[in-house]
Amino acid sequence: MPAQRELGVAVVGTGKMGADHVRRIERVISGARVTAVVDIEAERAKPLAEAIEGCTAYTEPAAAMAAHDVDAVLIASSGTAHEAALLAALGRDLPVLCEKPLTPDAASALRVLEAEQRLGHRRVQVGFMRRYDAEYLKLKRLLDSGELGRTLMLHHRHRNLSLPPGFTNAMLITDSVVHETDVTRWLLDQEITAVSVRKAAPSSLAPEGLDDLQLVLFETGSGALVDVEIFGHCGFGYQVIAEAVCERGAVRIGDEPGPRVSADGRWGGRITPDYIERFEDAYDRQVQAWVDATRRGEVTGPSVWDGYAAAVVSEAGVLAQREGRRVEVELTERPSGYR
């Protein structure tokens, strides 16, 4: 499309994340507008469309993708619906920003990878937004500089105030730890080779049947060790912290920003309540970067390979979680064209 024209975007899925992306495209970023919203529940999509001039509500992704005013697609529906939407978009050679996970399992992720390969060029960016977070970017630059030597260990903490009803043990890996999976691969620039999972005694705040919290251990190709504390119902806020332990030093990100107030015999600050607020700037940067690249005729950011690799690691993690053993990660050969 001509770089000077606004990008017409179809947003597929109008739940919490999708509605936030509609707001972001319409009110925050530049170079794009929402021309279609899609949801299987028509009554959820209709009010969003009616609030935007020139926007149409659809119940089928394929119908929206066929519209003359749709140049690109942002997929924010449930993970189980991603494969069909992605294949439809690739069938029309449309640029896509797909929220994580790419798909819920390795087999479907591989099908999407193969479909993109048949096009002969990249079309899909996966929504691993932590790569656009200011603190993670600083950490990445520091580790890449070699100033602290090799990274020997990574420590991740991923704590949620609470999780939606119906959240399962497997979803702790596939929907939450998947972020640490991707950011580990990105920070260290290497693949995860094995996964182990240990479960603590369940918190009394967790719903029946959910083993919350858990410790996930990744091994990497260079021998680095990575641990992830995943806590779904910590009860005090949303907290994401990472620490890299290197040969000549350590660096930590994610501690609460100021202001830190001392008053009435107490001191402290505020912890963000959810991921949308904590990573708001990262989401803004991610979508703006996708729009800018698409208008230039390029695809940047996390690739379908990254989405596939995360799906394979997640699958190994769920097996390790279920069987209480170390599980090796087996990836297909990486195709040319993917870093």
> Which token pair is 60?
């089928």
Provide the strand spans (E) within the chain: 7-12, 32-38, 56-58, 72-75, 96-99, 124-127, 151-159, 192-199, 214-220, 225-231, 239-246, 249-253, 261-263, 266-268, 327-328
Could you tell me which of 93, 13, 94, 110 has the C-alpha nearest to residue 307?
Answer: 110
Please tell me what DSSP assigns to residue 220: E
- Distance, in Å, from the CA atom of 242 to the CA atom of 76, rounded to the nearest integer, reads 26
What's this model's pTM, rounded to 2 decimal places?
Answer: 0.95
Distance of CA 262 to the CA centre of its chain: 36
The whole-number pLDDT of residue 106 equals: 96
- What is the model's pLDDT at position 339? 77
Candidates 3.30.360.10, 3.30.70.890, 2.170.190.11, 3.40.50.2000; correct CATH number of 131-277+311-328?
Answer: 3.30.360.10
CATH architecture of 7-130+281-303: 3-Layer(aba) Sandwich (3.40)
pLDDT at residue number 4: 61
Amino acid, single-letter form, for residue 250: A
Domain locations along the chain: 7-130+281-303, 131-277+311-328
pLDDT-flagged residues of the chain (< 70): 1-4
Quickly tell me which residue has 């410790």 as its tokens. Answer: 215
111-154 tens-digit pLDDT: 999 999 999 999 999 999 999 999 999 999 999 999 999 999 99
Predicted local confidence at residue 3, as pLDDT: 57
- Report the alpha-carbon distance of residue 97 to residue 160 in Å, rounded: 25
